[in-house]
Amino acid sequence: MNFKKVCILGLGYIGLPTASTFATHGVKVLGVDVNPHIVETLRSGEIHIHEPGLRDVVKAALASGNFSVSTQPEESDAFIIAVPTPFHHNKFGEYNGQHFKLADMGAVQSATEAVVPFLRKGNLVVLESTSPPRTTLELIAPILARSGLQAGRDFYLAYSPERVLPGQILRELIENARVIGGTTPESAKAGADLYSIFVKGEIIQTDATTAEMVKLMENTYRDVNIAIANEFARLADKFGVDVWEAISLANRHPRVKILSPGPGVGGHCISVDPWFLVESAPELTSLIYTSRKVNDAQPHYVVDLVKRALGSLQGKRIAALGLAYKPDVDDLRESPAVEVVRVLQVEGAQVKAWEPFKPDANVEDISMASSLEDALKDSDAILWLVRHTEFINLKPADIASKTKARIIIDTVNGWNVKEWQSAGFAVSRLGVRKQ
Ligand code: SAJ
Q: What is the spatial distance between Cα 41 and Cα 198, in angstroms, rounded to a whole number? A: 26
With beta carbons less than 8 A apart as the criterion, state whether 121 and 102 touch: no
For 223-226, the CB contacts below 8 A with 24+ separation are: 223/265, 223/270, 223/271, 223/273, 223/274, 223/288, 223/291, 223/292, 223/295, 224/274, 224/287, 224/288, 224/291, 225/258, 225/259, 226/259, 226/260, 226/261, 226/262, 226/265, 226/270, 226/291, 226/295
pLDDT of residue 435: 56
Using the Cα atoms of residue 286, residue 292, residue 294 and residue 296 in order, give the sign of their dihedral. negative
pLDDT tens digits for 302-325?
A: 999 999 999 999 999 999 999 999
Please choose from 129, 162, 165, 179 the residue to mutate so as to test ligand 1's pocket, defined by most ligand atoms within 8 A of CB: 165
Query: Which atom number of ligand 1 is nearest to the Cα of residue 273?
Result: 40
Residue 113: count of CB within 10 angstroms of its CB = 12
Of 219, 220, 291, which is best to mutate to test ligand 1, by the most ligand atoms within 8 angstroms of its C-beta?
219
The closest residue, in CA terms, to atom 38 on ligand 1 is 269
Query: What is the distance in A from the centroid of ligand 1 to the CA of 396?
Result: 30
Cα(270) to centroid(ligand 1), Å: 6
CA of 229: how far to CAs of 162, 195, 258, 265, 431, in Å? 26, 36, 6, 11, 10
Is the Cβ atom of 222 under 6 angstroms away from ligand 1? yes
Q: Give the residue numbers annotated as catalytic, written as ranges.
A: 215, 269
Q: CB-based contacts of 247: which residues, under 8 Å, 6+ apart? A: 229, 232, 258, 260, 261
Q: How far apart are CA 136 and CA 314, in angstroms?
A: 51
Ligand 1: does its nearest atom lie under 6 Å from the Cβ of 163?
yes
> What's the residue count for the chain?
435
Is the minimum distance from the CB of 267 to ligand 1 under 6 angstroms? Answer: yes
What pTM did the predictor assign? 0.93
Q: Which atom of ligand 1 is nearest to the CA of 336?
A: 15
Interatomic CA distance for residues 152 and 185, integer angstroms = 9
Distance 279 CA to ligand 1 centre (A): 21
Give CA–CA dist 183/187, Å, rounded: 6
pLDDT for res 173: 97
Beta pairing partners, 333: none
pLDDT mean by block of 10 residues, the chain; 435 residues: 96 96 98 97 91 94 96 98 91 92 95 98 98 97 98 98 93 97 98 98 98 98 98 97 98 98 95 94 97 98 97 97 95 95 97 96 94 97 98 97 97 96 97 81
CB atoms within 10 A of CB 262: 26
Containing 36, the helix (H) or strand (E) segment is helix 36-43
For residue 404, how far is its CA from the centre of ligand 1 (angstroms)?
A: 35
Partners of 108 in the β-ladder? none
Burial call 119-149: b when 16+ CB within 10 Å, e when fewer:
beeebbbbbbbbbbbebbbebbbebbeebeb
Q: Please tell me the residue having the least CA distance from ligand 1 atom 11.
A: 326
Ligand 1 pocket test target in 234, 269, 330, 391 with most atoms within 8 Å of CB: 269
Amino acid at 217: M
pLDDT at 348: 96
Question: Which residue CA neighbors atom 17 of ligand 1 most closely?
Answer: 326
Q: Is 333 a pocket residue for ligand 1 (Cβ < 6 Å)?
A: no
